[in-house]
Structure 1
Amino acid sequence: MKFLSLFSSSFMITFLWLLSVTCLAQKIPYGKNSFVNYKTDQGTFDVFVNGKQVLRDGYSEVLVNKNKVTSKDYVTRTTSRSSFRNAIGKGLLYKFKTIDKSGFGMVQSIFAYTDQDFFVIDVTVFGTDLSSNQMFPLKGELIGVNDFSTQTSLFVPFDNDTFISYQANLLTLKKENVSAEITSVYDNGSRKGYVVGTLNHNEWKTGLKTRMLNQSNLQLATECGYTNYDITRDKIEHGYLKGNSISSSKILFGYFDDWRNGMEIYAKTVRAVEKPIVANWNGPTPVGWNSWGVIQEKLSYEKATQVVDFFATNLKSFRIGNIAYIDLDSYWDNMLKGNDYTMLKKFADYCKSKGLKPGIYWAPFTDWGFHGGPQRKAPGSDYTFGEMWTKINDGFHDFDGARALDPTHPGTQKRINSVISHLKESGFEMIKIDFLGHAAVESTQFYDPKITTGMQSYRIGMEYLLKCLDNKMLVYAAISPSMASGKYVQVRRIACDAFKSIKDTKYTLNSVTNGWWQTYLYNYIDGDHVVLADESEAANVSRTLSAIVTGTLIVGDDFSVDGQWKARAEKLFQNEDLLNIIIDGKAFRPVDGDMGKGASNQYIKDLGKIKYVALFNFENSHATAKIDYSRLGIDESSIISIEDLVDHQIVNPENYHQKELGAAQATMLKINIK
């Protein structure tokens, strides 16, 4: 008999045996001092961490062939146990299997890691001709907190479209909270908290649901098959999976002393499970310019080359590893003549002649010209756009002003191959891909009948796109699914468009406050184009530091025309102390997380003997930033020196516990430790 380990049959199984069900509970240890107590006669389990119960009556539920079936419906089951080692770690795999007289059955699998402070659970149903679009690998009650109304519930968006915000709000009685793919429930003061999230994203969209039943009881449900127009953008229910065996996504469950550690562990675990198929990026942290910041639809060869000249002459030090990108966003087709890419190749060559790398933009799964009718021929094929549109009941999926294209349709793929081939031949070395969520929507019927869910469709589309790119470009995702894109791109924008104001800074940092952990899912997360324009110098500094805190720096002013932004860019973007911070490309951690739709005012990056602390004032009035070293995780007695990298001042570290900030002002402190 052979059992598959967690994610691949190639993992070595060292031993396997069947356990007779002679006792009514199976104790499953994991981590340092935690265990799952599975009640084999009830099909439910409890979870204990460091002697405290944190989950009660966990179970699985599936809607299969229109009937609801739960693990609690059976009183007898067989139990198997095997050792495993995989990309996450090692431990014991427990399988609890039930089967009825018709041959229909359910298997709950619990992966108990000896070297991780979490366990993983999934559920599988088996039988003949099964169909399901809703599976709950884990339902149960979170307990162990005296008053859940003091706890913060984290909402993570499915994507970064429609200027959506992360939210971190206190729980309220009876209110259902839904988060996409991952959530945390935590105490902001002690930072202790739960982290629950999905580990694979090839088939299901998953909603993490909580509801406070009373002060000491929080209902939890992990729903594979969740759709909601305001979150997943879908206009119809989740697609069905069919076959003789159907499995849910795998769910990570952990309770951590610091929820921030838990979120980072979660991101690293997803990256280990869903190994990138895009080439690992070994180049320096990307920095440079993007035309959408200001130029937008006015993009032309003349303006773009003048920006190149400004970088080559006035921003010579704005580089990481001597590299900067000049990226043409939407409206680069202003340089096309029919299907002639000569002008674009000329621009790319000009960039390279000035020591810069040319970048380009495209939205491969959208039809922006759909109002022109269905009979228009798609580039690179004999198919019409009407044939390629994603089918939604009797209509199509229109969102953001564009119509979705079916990623499984050969016309969509031929169009991708045609455009990408031209861009590669033109010499572009970076591509910003956008509106990727259009590839992940549920469809009434995809062209490929084997594809039945939006996430399956997304996988087909992204894998084909990467095949066409052939690792010839740095791949940057703009609007895209947050968790499912880690395999396909090296850089992902953390939020939606953000431009120049302190409100834009706060919006960007809302996503960093609650989503910084994605720095471990992607090579880089990006704070979007930094625009200086006619804002105050304080607002310019804040906007720049919001990008530094995120881990990269892409700017967006129109450097083809004169204005105050030029001189300020020369000063800000060539600050060597700030550029050094992003050499590793990793985001800062938030100090606080319970900010609703707002953002933390403080962030920290721990580089051992050097700690960087960013302080922000999002208001249009004076503020005092309090500095609590214990909250920052810094032993105050070990501080050697503090340097303000914006004011270029050495600060006396003795009794330095606050920083005065003007309206919309921010600063960066470099703290040296013994």
Structure 2
Amino acid sequence: MKVYTNKNNHFEFSYNLVSGKFDLNYNKQCEIKNCFSCIQDVNFKKINNTDFKVRKLIEETKINGKFGNGKKIVISNYDDDDFVLKQIFYLFEEGYLFVQLEVSSKAEYTTNYMAPIIAEEKDSISIIGKNIRTLFVPFDNDKWVRFISYPVKFSEQSYEFTAIYDEQTENGLVLGSLTHDEWKTGIRVRGKDNKVNHIEVYGGASSEQTRDVLPHGNIKGNIVYSPLIFVGFYDCYKTGFETFGNLNAKIRPALKWNGSVPFGWNSWAALMQTLTFDKYIETSDFFKKNIQYSFNNNSNVYINFDAFWNTLSSEKLVEAIEHVRHNEQKPGIYISPFVTHESSFDKSVIGTNGNYTYRDLLLKDFEGNILPAVDGLYSLDPTHPGTIYKINYETNKFIELGVDYVKADFLGHAAREGNFYNKQITTGIQAYNYGMTYFVENLSPSKAGKDIFISLSIAPIFPHGFGHARRISCDAFGTIDQSEYLLNSLTYLWWMNDCLYRYNDPDHIVIYKTYDKVSSTWNEALSRFNSAIICGTVMLNSDDYQYKEARERAKILFTNEKVNNIAKTGKTFIPFSGNKGEKAADIFVRNDENALFIALFNYSICDEKQFDISLQDLGLSLGKKYEVENLWKNNTIIFEFNESLKVNLACASSTIIKIHT
């Protein structure tokens, strides 16, 4: 047999056992031809599977399990039995496939690069469409990074997943990693004239985007695996993202949360480093007297300390938390477990009985040099016993204080490549899993005696499963550009909600003024509030209530029961249209059992905007009468749709419409 072929209702897979190359054809809508695999050893010598003299199909078995039904195909590439490169394919009737490499070597093999899929010949990849785009996906949410939809000729490397799709029809190819135990996965796409000429999906990514200055760490053993790679083509790439997310969740489920969507307040945007006992008490009292009985979820309201809570004395901290509880609220707190400041290098590490200074814990390169700062902060080695003692001390203190919410920040530092204390750990992702596993276990119900909500702030998209929520973007404040920035992330990460994490965290909701920034207009405040409502979500305000305008806006925005009820379901809206280039979608929709919700945003600071939304695209019936409700104007009309829904929005404004179906 020279060519192995497997065909189902979605695609045809073929493997040429002579050349060592494989093809994938999605019913002529998408073709990937002449693919091969590649590995690189510690001496930077690359070996393609096509370089081996012998190739054999050594396994063809039926699979029927949690990922679907289909066949497992294993191709063995070798010159002799001492070193074998296996290409493992899982071909699912559901329309997607997985690809993974396995190196089996009698001598220990060391590598920091394994690419299950490379295609680089001209016209190797074709997708039907007039405007093929590639999505830049960042590794984390730091430094106000954005998702960007590029014309194929301007493509940038993505991390962990991406889509190559036609902008008009939205049909596209989705690729991504399903395992996140050892590797950072990179996806390189290059093209010209609306055609993709190169694609490379590999484990071993390291760049400024991953916050690294060192190459990806080595993985070694007699048997070494690449990341498991997902490939699927869809009529709409959004469906592909949802499928990709669900498969990831089957491998590593979201961290279980037994509670409801958190409502309340966080101190950072409002006060930053000026946080005091009096301000914390003032906010707690304002919520209690004015909005608590409207802006809550199952009577739960969180009043959260952010950074600089440790400027309070132990006595004042306990008094503040007791005051919050007296006001029938839940206290929250902040931690950044894997970073320190240069000014603390020679200070004793808390929880270590003076055995370590922070300098001892710093992550270093293989020459002993401290890694450069990121965000002005220096990385601690997640595997160092001093870091573990520090986390143990801090989490035990939180449990002793009785906090109900923990915001964990700057976690990407734990995923940086370095020379780790624990020599069994050799890559940044291994270190991240090591440190975060310990952190989460220390706040688990079995340890704390209750559920403590954990929200990850600055953190990689993957690995997941270490928080009940992950902030979907970098810091987002109160002006319209900040709402648009936040919604850029929701445009491409909505699917994480109730999948990788129970909730997407839209960051603190500023409705008047961030501490060190200009105040927002009323329209901007409304848009910032709506942007949080639709994320599926965490509803934490952050304003300083010494300002009358902040108090007045809160009494209006936070007491709209119909809008608050949307957020309480914890269900995200889905991007509908408007996203192009680096811009967020400006229409988002959510289908409930008896209603269709439409969220509209005008990102312009000076111009009105008219929305004209196709009935057919909304899934509604022409000529049928619907009850249409604008949830911010408190009016309902009976509307007979003939062609489209038309809505005008003032500059920087937004609204949420409910169509009773």
Do these two structures clear the TM 0.5 threshold for a shared fold by scoring above it? yes
1:588 aligns to 2:573 (yes or no): yes
Amino acid at match of 2:325: K
1:290 aligns to 2:290 (yes or no): no
Normalising by structure 1, report the TM-score: 0.91
Alpha-carbon distance between aligned partners in 2 of 1:76 and 1:267, rounded to the nearest angstrom: 34
Task: State the partner residue of 1:354.
Answer: 327
Task: State the partner residue of 2:423.
Answer: 449
Alpha-carbon distance between aligned partners in 2 of 1:33 and 1:618, rounded to the nearest angstrom: 39
In structure 2, list runs of 5 or more residues that go unmatched.
Answer: 513-518
Amino acid at match of 1:385: Y
Alpha-carbon distance between aligned partners in 1 of 2:493 and 2:416, rounded to the nearest angstrom: 23
> Given the superposition, is the C-alpha separation of residues 237 and 623 from structure 1 closer, same or farther in structure 2, using an over 3 Å criterion?
same
Alpha-carbon distance between aligned partners in 2 of 1:153 and 1:176, rounded to the nearest angstrom: 6
Corresponding residue SS for 1:396:
coil
Amino acid at match of 2:656: M
Task: State the partner residue of 2:348.
Answer: 376
Alpha-carbon distance between aligned partners in 2 of 1:536 and 1:53, rounded to the nearest angstrom: 47
Normalising by structure 2, report the TM-score: 0.93
The 10-residue stretch of structure 1 (249-258 or 350-359) with the greater mean CA deviation from structure 2: 350-359
Maintained 8 Å contact 2:152/2:192: no
Amino acid at match of 2:288: A
Which string of whole-angstrom CA distances, capped at 9 and with x for unpartnered residues, describes residues 466-487 of structure 1? 1211234111000000121x21
The 10-residue stretch of structure 1 (246-255 or 59-68) with the greater mean CA deviation from structure 2: 59-68
Alpha-carbon distance between aligned partners in 1 of 2:578 and 2:22, rounded to the nearest angstrom: 31
> Given the superposition, is the C-alpha separation of residues 526 and 53 from structure 1 closer, same or farther in structure 2, using an over 3 Å criterion?
closer
Corresponding residue SS for 2:25:
strand
Aligned sequence identity (%):
30
Task: State the partner residue of 1:668.
Answer: 656
Corresponding residue SS for 1:423:
helix
Task: State the partner residue of 2:505.
Answer: 526
Alpha-carbon distance between aligned partners in 2 of 1:213 and 1:290, rounded to the nearest angstrom: 47
Which string of whole-angstrom CA distances, capped at 9 and with x for unpartnered residues, describes residues 125-150 of structure 1? 111111100110111265333567x1
Aligned pair partner of 1:245 in 223, 227, 230? 223
Corresponding residue SS for 1:591:
strand
Maintained 8 Å contact 2:262/2:540: no
Task: State the partner residue of 1:538.
Answer: 523
Alpha-carbon distance between aligned partners in 2 of 1:214 and 1:536, rounded to the nearest angstrom: 44
Aligned pair partner of 2:49 in 62, 67, 71? 71
1:510 aligns to 2:496 (yes or no): no
Task: State the partner residue of 1:95.
Answer: 74
Q: CA deviation at 1:654?
A: 2.7
Maintained 8 Å contact 1:126/1:244: yes
Alpha-carbon distance between aligned partners in 1 of 2:65 and 2:267, rounded to the nearest angstrom: 44
Q: CA deviation at 1:559?
A: 4.5
The 10-residue stretch of structure 1 (155-164 or 533-542) with the greater mean CA deviation from structure 2: 533-542
1:266-285 aligned at under 5 Å gives the runs 266-276=244-254, 278=255, 280-285=256-261
Maintained 8 Å contact 1:287/1:552: no
Which string of whole-angstrom CA distances, capped at 9 and with x for unpartnered residues, describes residues 208-267 of structure 1? 1100145444421112101111x1010111000011111110000000011111111111
Task: State the partner residue of 1:642.
Answer: 628
1:398-437 aligned at under 5 Å gives the runs 398-437=373-412
Corresponding residue SS for 1:619:
coil
Alpha-carbon distance between aligned partners in 2 of 1:27 and 1:672, rounded to the nearest angstrom: 49
Alpha-carbon distance between aligned partners in 2 of 1:375 and 1:425, rounded to the nearest angstrom: 24
Task: State the partner residue of 1:318.
Answer: 295
Which string of whole-angstrom CA distances, capped at 9 and with x for unpartnered residues, describes residues 350-390 of structure 1? 2222221111011000112x224435344334212111100
Amino acid at match of 1:37: S
> Given the superposition, is the C-alpha separation of residues 464 and 146 from structure 1 closer, same or farther in structure 2, using an over 3 Å criterion?
closer
Q: CA deviation at 1:549?
A: 1.5
Q: CA deviation at 1:152?
A: 1.8
How many residue pairs were aligned? Answer: 636
Alpha-carbon distance between aligned partners in 2 of 1:262 and 1:490, rounded to the nearest angstrom: 23
Alpha-carbon distance between aligned partners in 1 of 2:271 and 2:645, rounded to the nearest angstrom: 43
1:453-464 aligned at under 5 Å gives the runs 453-464=427-438
In structure 1, list runs of 5 or more residues that go unmatched.
Answer: 1-22
Aligned pair partner of 1:440 in 415, 418, 443? 415
Alpha-carbon distance between aligned partners in 2 of 1:227 and 1:196, rounded to the nearest angstrom: 19
Corresponding residue SS for 1:177:
coil
Amino acid at match of 1:626: D
Maintained 8 Å contact 1:170/1:594: no
Maintained 8 Å contact 1:307/1:560: yes
Across the aligned residues of Structure 1 and Structure 2, the Cα RMSD in angstroms comes to 1.8
Alpha-carbon distance between aligned partners in 1 of 2:194 and 2:484, rounded to the nearest angstrom: 32
Task: State the partner residue of 2:516.
Answer: none
> Given the superposition, is the C-alpha separation of residues 470 and 553 from structure 1 closer, same or farther in structure 2, using an over 3 Å criterion?
closer
Maintained 8 Å contact 1:188/1:592: no
Which string of whole-angstrom CA distances, capped at 9 and with x for unpartnered residues, describes residues 591-623 of structure 1? 136422211111111113311101110112211
Corresponding residue SS for 1:550:
coil
Task: State the partner residue of 1:564.
Answer: 549
Aligned pair partner of 2:125 in 131, 143, 153? 143
Task: State the partner residue of 2:108.
Answer: 129
1:5-404 aligned at under 5 Å gives the runs 23-30=1-8, 32-50=9-27, 52-66=29-43, 67-74=45-52, 75-101=54-80, 103-114=82-93, 116-127=94-105, 128-140=107-119, 143-146=125-128, 150-172=131-153, 175-229=154-208, 231-276=209-254, 278=255, 280-315=256-291, 316-336=293-313, 341-368=314-341, 370-374=342-346, 376-381=348-353, 382-392=355-365, 393-397=367-371, 398-404=373-379
Alpha-carbon distance between aligned partners in 2 of 1:373 and 1:217, rounded to the nearest angstrom: 49
> Given the superposition, is the C-alpha separation of residues 619 and 380 from structure 1 closer, same or farther in structure 2, using an over 3 Å criterion?
same
The 10-residue stretch of structure 1 (99-108 or 161-170) with the greater mean CA deviation from structure 2: 99-108
Amino acid at match of 1:455: I
> Given the superposition, is the C-alpha separation of residues 434 and 557 from structure 1 closer, same or farther in structure 2, using an over 3 Å criterion?
closer
Task: State the partner residue of 1:550.
Answer: 535
Amino acid at match of 1:518: M
Aligned pair partner of 1:500 in 478, 497, 505? 478
Task: State the partner residue of 2:609.
Answer: 623
> Given the superposition, is the C-alpha separation of residues 638 and 389 from structure 1 closer, same or farther in structure 2, using an over 3 Å criterion?
farther
Q: CA deviation at 1:405?
A: 0.5
Alpha-carbon distance between aligned partners in 1 of 2:368 and 2:155, rounded to the nearest angstrom: 32
> Given the superposition, is the C-alpha separation of residues 411 and 170 from structure 1 closer, same or farther in structure 2, using an over 3 Å criterion?
same
Alpha-carbon distance between aligned partners in 1 of 2:620 and 2:547, rounded to the nearest angstrom: 44
